[in-house]
Amino acid sequence: MYSFSFENLTVWQDTRVLVKKIYYDTRDFPDDEKFGLTNQIRRAALSVSSNIAEGSSRTTKKDQAHFYSIAYSSLMELLSQLILANDLNYLKAESLNEYRSETEKIANKLNALRKSILK
């Protein structure tokens, strides 16, 4: 079976794992947050992986780098929302610390990918 280029990117593979964890952890958020913070967190996580995939399909280096920058921005949005979820006691401090670590790892890989594209 054919594999698309984004599927070979370790940063995309990392975000795939992150999205699954986000969906799992947000299941326990209050029902009244289903269309609020829960939805926003899930959408931000999906946006990171989606923009990596979309960027990999672009034909110019500048366009690719732009989508990797958008993915980075979505990653920062996700982290902000997770911090707020912790503030609201929807997410445990240990989980937030794990997400911070994962976010840092993905952010570093995204920056490296973007820089390598622009060289």
Q: What is the pLDDT of residues 43-89, one digit of tens each?
A: 999 999 999 999 999 999 999 999 999 999 999 999 999 999 999 99
Helix (H, G, I), strand (E, B) or coil at 91: coil
Does pLDDT of 26 surpass 90? yes
Q: Cα dist. 47→22, 30, 31, 44, 93 in Å?
A: 13, 23, 23, 5, 24
pLDDT of residue 37: 96
Percentage of residues in the chain having pLDDT higher than 70: 100
Q: What is the pLDDT of residue 93?
A: 98
Q: What is the mean pLDDT of the chain?
A: 96
Calculate ∠ Cα 28-29-30, nearest 5°.
115
